[in-house]
């Protein structure tokens, strides 16, 4: 059998391998999804769409007009940015948003700067598009340094990826950095692909989008998965300047036709309905963040205090990840997110407090078994 060179360059995510190695009753701190139900009003909107037959047919390729209006209204409310609904394409999660953005903008001979450690899709999707990922090291506090990005921009750079709040780090870029990313995109005429899927899970600092300062060269990928605990609904969006959206739509149209209709109605209800669930989830994550990071402190594990998302990324001694897995606590080795993650692990605290405390107790026992 023969396969494309591009696909031979990628492999199944290292995160999956960890899950497969773990026993079924292990405490799983490896998952990247909120442990809350989808808000009832979102579910009911999908039920209604199914029962009335509204969800039976394709929607427009871009998504329903009313969903795209709701996404545009979100940008006006949260970013103070005036987005036209025609500058929005509804996608199958932020995952597809990242995919169409890469396919539309980069190809053989191009380089894409990706944060290292960074979300696994950036490196893989760059390769699938036939381009070359170039890792950019993070600062000690695990934020992406605009100066490091600017230094790495070269003749072949077509795009750079920013992700704040970040996975796997939980780091939130200061507003001045978001503004710098916008300037770099403009001055060097390269695409800034801003993954804002964790935009509403921020405890300290604030989420700012490079789109606030630059409209031509910034594309935003976002979605409902994390904000509304809707990972299974597969509903996201990509937003950008009209010419960029038109190119991304070409890829989306042939790969996906349209995002799932029932999910579009659910997402619209989530975006336009009461937002108190979002704040409640965020408060819960913040409480857990403190439990985790305070405990790491007590254990002597060095861990920048994450300001958002639901991950922490402490430095750990060699053998510690395996020692945790031996004690039925699933964590992800930092190198699964790039060589910059070596010597760290990612812990997701999208798990209830009792399990989290039990997992931390087991980690402390595991730590005693490895040399430091
Ligand atoms: C940084 C980041 N971007 C994008 C995604 C994909 O999200 P979605 O479920 O919307 O496809 C994830 C999911 O873990 C993520 O962590």
Ligand 1 center to 369 CA (angstroms): 34
Total domains in the chain come to 2
Question: What mean pLDDT, rounded, does the chain reach?
Answer: 96
Whats the size of the chain, residue-wise? 372
- pLDDT tens per residue, range 84-141: 999 999 999 999 999 999 999 999 999 999 999 999 999 999 999 999 999 999 999 9
- Tell me the C-alpha distance between 195 and 338, whole Å: 17
Q: What is the pLDDT of residue 246?
A: 98
Ligand 1 center to 368 CA (angstroms): 34
- Answer whether residue 363 shows pLDDT above 80: yes
Four-point Cα dihedral 14, 94, 159, 338, nearest 10: -20
Judge if 185 and 317 occupy the same domain: no
Distances, alpha carbon 202 to alpha carbons 15, 163, 350, in Å: 24, 13, 14
Q: What is the pLDDT of residue 12?
A: 84
Judge if 18 and 111 occupy the same domain: no
Q: What is the pLDDT of residue 92?
A: 98
Q: What is the pLDDT of residue 60?
A: 98
* Full DSSP string of 52-108: TTTTSS---TT--HHHHHHHHHHHHHHH-----GGGEEEESHHHHHHHHHHHHH--T
Task: Name residues contacting ligand 1 (CB within 6 A).
Answer: 32, 93-95, 119, 163, 167, 195, 197, 223, 225, 231, 236
- pLDDT tens per residue, range 308-362: 999 999 999 999 999 999 999 999 999 999 999 999 999 999 999 999 999 999 9
Judge if 321 and 185 occupy the same domain: no
Judge if 27 and 101 occupy the same domain: no
- Answer whether residue 13 shows pLDDT above 80: no
Judge if 363 and 225 occupy the same domain: no
Strands (E), 143-227: 157-163, 191-195, 218-223
Judge if 251 and 301 occupy the same domain: no
Contact 162, 210 (CB under 8 A): yes
Per-residue pLDDT, averaged over 205-225, amounts to 97
- Taking residue 216's Cβ as centre, other Cβ atoms within 10 Å add up to 12
Q: What is the pLDDT of residue 15?
A: 74
pLDDT, greater one: 24 or 166: 166
Judge if 166 and 252 occupy the same domain: yes
Query: Which residues constitute the domain of residue 148?
Result: 40-272
Q: What percent of the chain has pLDDT over 90?
A: 95
Contact 327, 365 (CB under 8 A): yes
| Sequence-ordered list of residues with C-beta below 8 angstroms from that of 305, at least 6 positions apart, any chain | 204, 289, 293
Ligand 1 center to 261 CA (angstroms): 20
| Sequence-ordered list of residues with C-beta below 8 angstroms from that of 336, at least 6 positions apart, any chain | 13, 14, 15, 18, 120, 346
* Among 272, 297, 330, residue at a domain's last position: 272
Closest-CA residue, ligand 1 atom 1, reads: 167
Judge if 86 and 230 occupy the same domain: yes
- Tell me the C-alpha distance between 51 and 72, whole Å: 27
Distances, alpha carbon 122 to alpha carbons 21, 112, 204, in Å: 25, 9, 26
Mapped onto helix, strand or coil, the DSSP state of residue 160 is strand
Give the helix, strand, coil percentages of the chain, each rounded to 5.
45, 15, 40
Judge if 9 and 65 occupy the same domain: no
Local confidence band at 68 (pLDDT 50, 70, 90 cut-offs): very high
Ligand 1 center to 240 CA (angstroms): 18
Per-residue pLDDT, averaged over 41-58, amounts to 98
Atom nearest to 163 CA in ligand 1: 1
Ligand 1 center to 238 CA (angstroms): 13
- Answer whether residue 163 shows pLDDT above 80: yes
**Mutate which of 120, 194, 197 for ligand 1 pocket (most atoms within 8 A of beta carbon):** 197
Residue of 204, 226, 196, 191 lying closest to 304 (CA atoms): 204
Atom nearest to 32 CA in ligand 1: 14
Judge if 262 and 298 occupy the same domain: no
- Element containing residue 359 per DSSP (H, E): helix 353-368
Pairing state between β 88-91 and 236-239: antiparallel
Atom nearest to 223 CA in ligand 1: 10
Distances, alpha carbon 334 to alpha carbons 96, 292, 309, in Å: 24, 17, 17
Local confidence band at 24 (pLDDT 50, 70, 90 cut-offs): confident
66 is written with which tokens?
């009313």
* Among 272, 296, 330, residue at a domain's last position: 272
Looking up residue 211, the CATH number of its domain turns out to be 3.40.640.10
Per-residue pLDDT, averaged over 1-23, amounts to 84
* Burial call 101-119: b when 16+ CB within 10 Å, e when fewer: bbbbbbeeebbbbbbbbbb
Judge if 233 and 103 occupy the same domain: yes
């Amino acid at each position: 059998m023969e396969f494309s060179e591009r696909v031979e360059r990628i492999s199944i995510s290292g995160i999956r391998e960890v899950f497969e190695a773990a026993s079924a009753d292990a405490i799983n701190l490896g998952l990247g999804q909120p442990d809350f139900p989808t808000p009832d009003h979102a579910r009911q909107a999908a039920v209604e769409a199914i029962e009335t037959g509204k969800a039976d047919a394709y929607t427009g390729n871009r998504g329903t007009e009313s969903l795209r209006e709701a996404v545009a209204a979100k940008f006006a409310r949260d970013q103070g940015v005036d987005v036209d609904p025609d500058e929005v394409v509804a996608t199958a999660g932020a995952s597809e948003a990242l995919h169409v953005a890469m396919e539309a903008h980069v190809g053989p001979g191009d380089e894409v700067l990706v944060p290292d450690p960074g979300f696994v899709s950036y490196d893989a999707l760059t390769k699938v598009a036939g381009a070359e990922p170039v890792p950019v090291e993070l600062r000690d506090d695990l934020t992406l340094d605009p100066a490091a990005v600017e230094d790495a921009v070269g003749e072949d750079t077509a795009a750079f990826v920013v992700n704040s709040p970040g996975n796997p780090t939980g780091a939130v870029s200061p507003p001045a950095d978001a503004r710098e990313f916008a300037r770099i995109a403009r001055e060097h005429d390269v695409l800034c692909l801003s993954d804002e899927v964790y935009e509403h899970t921020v405890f300290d600092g604030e989420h700012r989008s490079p789109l606030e300062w630059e409209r031509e060269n910034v594309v935003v990928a976002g979605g409902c998965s994390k904000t509304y605990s809707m990972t299974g609904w597969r509903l996201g969006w990509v937003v950008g300047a009209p010419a960029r959206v038109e190119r991304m739509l070409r890829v989306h149209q042939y790969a996906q036709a349209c995002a799932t209709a029932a999910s579009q109605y659910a997402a619209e209800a989530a975006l336009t309905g009461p937002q108190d669930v979002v704040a409640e989830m965020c408060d819960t994550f913040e409480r857990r963040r403190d439990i985790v990071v305070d405990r790491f402190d007590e254990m002597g594990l060095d861990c920048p205090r994450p300001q958002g998302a639901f991950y922490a990324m402490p430095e750990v001694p060699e053998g510690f990840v395996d020692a945790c897995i031996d004690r039925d606590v699933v964590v992800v080795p930092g190198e699964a997110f790039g060589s910059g993650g070596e010597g760290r692990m990612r812990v997701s605290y999208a798990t209830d407090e009792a399990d989290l405390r039990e997992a931390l107790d087991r980690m402390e026992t595991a730590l005693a078994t490895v040399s430091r």
